[in-house]
Structure 1
Amino acid sequence: MTRFHTLACGLLLALSAAPCLAATPSATEQRLRDSIQADQPHAIALLERLVNQNSGSLNIAGVTAVGEMVRAELEPLGFDVQWIDMRATGRAGHLVATHTGKGRGKRLLLIGHLDTVFEPDSTFQRFVRNGDNATGPGIGDDKGGVVIIVSALRAMHATGTLRDADIKVVLTGDEESAGTPLDAARANLVAAGKWADVALEYEGLIVDGGQDFATVARRGVTDWEMTTTGMTGHSSGVFGDGLGYGANYELVRILDTFRRELPEPNVTFNVGLMVGGTPATLDAGGARGSASGKTNIIAERAVARGDLRTLTPEQEARARTRMQAIVAQHLPKTGASLVFEDSYPPMAPTDGNRALLAMLNQVNADLGLPAMGEWDPAKRGAADSSFVAADVDVLAGLGAAGSGSHAEGESVDLTSIPRQALRSAVLIDRLSRTPR
């Protein structure tokens, strides 16, 4: 099978994860494999350094320091590395690294993030290795993914395949807790998506039942806050014409109607916090609340906060419309308002995204690696790749395999790093030589 045939197979099988017949890896691709294997001590040492530097989203100095570590890896490979200061949004900043090739092949955007959920006051702070497994804060989400990006690009540089490639790496510094306003916090990533032809995202690899899975779709997240009001007074008048039902009954009516009427495939609706009484308030930031009341007082005010997750923009718009209609059907003597706060847009499954998975599975077949399935988007969280999905084809979940993300004991299977780096290096090489 010729190289042209190999490239064509991956593109033609746009709607199938099945590869064409396997071809023998080229001499260059074999050199990529050898380079990645030889470079593993460097990759693991880099992972340890990144993990041991705390970079909780709110730790501006720590996130900046991790960015400088990655800069030191990419600049020697010929990347122009820029630090985008984002302190105006309350966060450290983003690393944007650009490699300029010949402009003939696909322009590639590689996405990851520098921050973690573990702030400096966490007791979980250090990299610990036990054979082929290692634990540490953010080791899989997303410092393992960052190391895979670096490892793949170092191998391409060593074999000469990076020279002609047009690549932009965007590593955000606030993926786990985005700065505000969100439009400003994601402006550089959105611009990179408009520049690119293909985006590859390096959040954690899903492994289930011994099989690797890639991600062609992610649900978006929209936060919401609902406030209900009622007439307060002695509880003996509840349900009556004078005082009505009170704020708490109105809140419960709305939430229970959401529960009964909103569900459809790939839609979830969560209530994360609710308070009600006379009075009831939320603290700044909306993560804590307080309420007062007595059993014989009708509640004057209630507040609830949660999120809505959907797979497509159309599904989100439909859910929002239905939610507002439900809110508007007030119980007697009550009122209610519902406010949405945009967060992560949906990354819908598209033919283009599935074509990338087909091309990756052709790489897997040619390299003798297992084929990768398509992971259920209802089982994944949101990620930065969603911000570019409206403009570019995306393949996600190309990072390291592990477990326990966002919890103490978070771990990574170190053997997944060379496997993922090899898949990426060959896929990037082939895409960079595919005409735009």
Structure 2
Amino acid sequence: MLRSRVLACGLLLALSVGPCAGATPVAAEQRLQASIEADQPHAIALLERLVNQNSGTLNLPGVKAVGDMVRAELEPLGFDVEWIDMRATGRAGHLVATHTGNGRGKRILLIGHLDTVFEPDSPFQRFARNGDTATGPGIGDDKGGVVIIVAALRAMHAAGTLRDADIKVVLTGDEESAGTPLEAARADLVAAGKWADVALEYEGLIVDGGRDHATIARRGVADWELTATGLTGHSSGVFGDALGYGANYELARILDGFRRELPEPNLTLNVGLMVGGTPAALDPDGARGSAAGKTNIVAERAVAVGDLRALTPEQEANARARMQGIVAQHLPKTGATLVFADAYPPMAPTAGNRALLALLNQVNTDLGLPVMDEWDPAKRGAADSSFVAADADVLAGMGAAGSRAHAEGETVDLASIQRQALRSAVLIGRLARTPP
């Protein structure tokens, strides 16, 4: 692997204020620094254009328009860009861009997404800048990450380090709300993961205590629906041999069993919505429900939905089995069923992921940036990187630093774009020269 010999220049070198006395960076990596600094106005202008184009997940033309903007950035760099139409899944599509190198280095997958949680009816629609901070819908999640990918690749192209690199960029158009069926919605990303040796994911950078942190693990997510049933009748007979306990007590028993018996490190189980009565039902979207009943009627049906988050496939499988065991211990005259729906697989903290972080920290050391510690996976949500974690080593959270993701007033630290683009450009260039 190519080693640069930059001594402790600190963050000033990373921001190209000027090389420190005695620093002797490898020429190509020195060119990366200069190129990224010079290109920062382009990066910020691109970010503004991307943010001002609404691309809420359900705004299919808007998501496609953002994809077209990114296509215009990548094709001049030598990428073969393809739009994968996904309207059959209820979503716009994905952008897949491939750069063919010399085949001698690691194959590198870069992951981000084009969509945001802000639909066209949201009042939060425009980019606004105040010094080194900017606000806008999706500015950090994930348009800042997309801009970092583009900025790193533009710098590599200018420095000559992109020429021999085998890189695939996959920007999904439905990360915030995946299309259905999920297998079809993520088929292209999974295929890219099987092609790759390593994957870098450009969701937001975690900054805590003034220090950047790296993400080498994410918990997976599985949604679940619990339905309890019972005999209905006059409440004077509840607890008795004829009516038993009713659906609401059965639902409460099960959920309390989950609360008492399941908690362990990195495992959480949330109950998001519950309804019970005679009758009771959820709407088809699972986000609303209705129930009827009276104080003197034993509930006939109760339904609850929620999610299960686990760090490893083994932890998730064990939790599912324990949940089913709790469900099976029915109260008299009641029944219950528990159904799971896969959402995001776990991204476990593997040795390969940690080795990739070690390579990034060598880059940090060579650039005079602080070493990055692992971030607690229980403090992060799920992301598309989990779909490739079974096939490639993954380093996540390579995007922009900011705050208030998914909320009006979402912000990004513009200086972090330059810092992250530099880290990425150097890391990708070194990986591209490392035999697979």
| TM-score range relative to shorter protein | over 0.9
SS of the residue corresponding to residue 370 of structure 2 reads coil
Shift of 1:321: 0.3
Q: How far did residue 284 of structure 1 move?
A: 1.0
Q: Using the alignment, how far apart are the partners of 1:126 and 1:89 within structure 2?
A: 28
- 1:185 aligns to what? 185
User: Deviations for 1:402-426, whole angstroms, at most 9, x for unmatched residues?
Assistant: 0000000110000000000000000
1:100-249 equivalence runs, <5 A: 100-249=100-249
Q: Is 1:359 aligned with 2:359?
A: yes
Q: Which residue of 2 aligns with 1:17?
A: none
CA contact (8 A) 2:403 2:410 kept: yes
1:130-157, CA deviations, whole angstroms, 9 ceiling, x for partnerless residues?
0000000000000000000000000000
Distance 2:69 2:327 in 1: 50
Distance in 2, Cα, partners of 1:368 & 1:30: 13
Query: Are 1:24 and 1:366, in contact at CA under 8 Å, matched by a contact in 2?
Result: no
Q: Does structure 1 retain, via aligned residues, the 8 Å contact 2:5–2:25? A: no
The aligned residue for residue 48 of structure 1 is 48
Q: Which residue does 2:399 correspond to in 1?
A: 399
Q: How does 1:67-78 map to 2 (within 5 A)?
A: 67-78=67-78
Aligned-partner residue type, residue 35 of structure 1: S
Which amino acid counterpart does residue 78 of structure 1 have in structure 2? G
1:175 maps to a residue whose letter is: E
User: Over residues 237-278 of structure 1, what are the superposed CA-to-partner deviations in whole Å (9 max), with x where a residue is unaligned?
Assistant: 000000000000000000000000001110000000000000
- Please tell me the residue identity of whatever aligns with 1:219: R
Matches within 5 A, 1:225-374: 225-374=225-374
SS for the counterpart of 2:303 is strand
**What is the CA-CA distance between 1:369 and the residue it aligns to?**
1.2
In the alignment, the residues of structure 2 paired with residue 91 and residue 24 of structure 1 have an alpha-carbon distance, to the nearest angstrom, of 49
| 1:4 CA displacement | 9.0
What is the CA deviation profile of residues 332-353 of structure 1, one whole-angstrom value per residue up to 9, with x for unaligned ones?
A: 0001000000000000001100
User: Who is 1:65 aligned against?
Assistant: 65
CA distance in 2, matches of 1:304, 1:405: 27
What secondary structure does 1:264 align onto? coil
- In 1, distance between residues paired with 2:186 and 2:411? 28
Whether 2:381 is the aligned partner of 1:381: answer yes
- Work out whether residues 126 and 136 of structure 2, in 8 Å CA contact, stay in contact via their aligned partners in 1: yes
Q: 8 Å contact 2:5–2:24 — kept in the other structure?
A: no
Q: SS at 1:308's partner residue?
A: strand
The DSSP-based 3-state class of the residue aligned with 2:309 is strand
What does the per-residue CA deviation read over 1:53-82, in whole Å, with 9 as the maximum and x for residues that have no partner? 000111100000000000000000000000
CA contact (8 A) 2:4 2:29 kept: no
> Quick one: distance in 2 between partners of 1:405 and 1:25?
36
In structure 1, what is the Cα distance between the partners aligned to 2:4 and 2:155?
A: 22
Give the Cα–Cα distance (whole angstroms) in 2 for the partners of residues 384 and 279 of structure 1: 38
Quote the residue 1:12 is aligned against: none
How many residues are paired up? 421
8 Å contact from structure 2 (residues 51, 143) kept in 1? yes
User: SS of 1:110's equivalent?
Assistant: strand
Equivalent AA in structure 2 for residue 398 of structure 1: M
Aligned-pair distance for 1:2?
7.3
Flag the 1:228–1:24 CA change in 2: closer, same or farther, 3 A. Answer: farther
> Is the 2:5–2:366 Cα contact (8 Å) retained in structure 1?
no
Question: Could you tell me which amino acid in structure 1 is paired with residue 251 of structure 2?
Answer: L
1:296 corresponds to which letter in structure 2? N
- Give the C-alpha shift of residue 125 in structure 1: 0.5
Partners of 2:234 and 2:293 in 1: CA distance = 11
Per the TM alignment, residue 3 of structure 1 is displaced from its structure 2 partner at its CA by 2.8
Output the CA distance in 2 between the equivalents of 1:338 and 1:23: 62
Shift of 1:25: 2.4
Structure 1 distance, partners of 2:337, 2:125, is: 42
- Secondary structure of residue in 2 paired with 1:325: helix
Runs of 4+ in 1 over 3 A off after TM superposition: none
Are the counterparts in 1 of residues 5 and 26 from structure 2 also a CA contact under 8 Å? no
* Partners of 2:381 and 2:277 in 1: CA distance: 33
Report the 3-state secondary structure (helix = DSSP H, G, I; strand = E; otherwise coil) of the residue aligned with 2:420. helix
Alignment partner, residue 97 of structure 2: 97
Aligned residue number for residue 13 of structure 1: none
SS at match of 2:37: helix
Amino acid at match of 1:156: M
Identity percentage of aligned residues: 85
SS of aligned partner of 2:270: strand
CA distance in 2, matches of 1:88, 1:131: 43
Looking at structure 1, the residues matched to 395 and 24 of structure 2 have their Cα atoms a distance apart, in angstroms, of: 24
Q: Secondary structure at the match of 1:30?
A: helix
Q: For the Cα contact (< 8 Å) 1:24–1:367, is it kept in 2?
A: no
Structure 1 residue matching 2:308: 3-state secondary structure: strand
Answer yes or no: is the 8 Å Cα contact 2:2–2:430 preserved in 1. no
| Deviations, residues 299-355 of structure 1 (Å, cap 9, x unaligned) | 000000000000000000000000001001000000100000000000000110000
TM-score, length basis structure 1: 0.95
Cα distance in 1 for partners of 2:24, 2:199 equals: 26
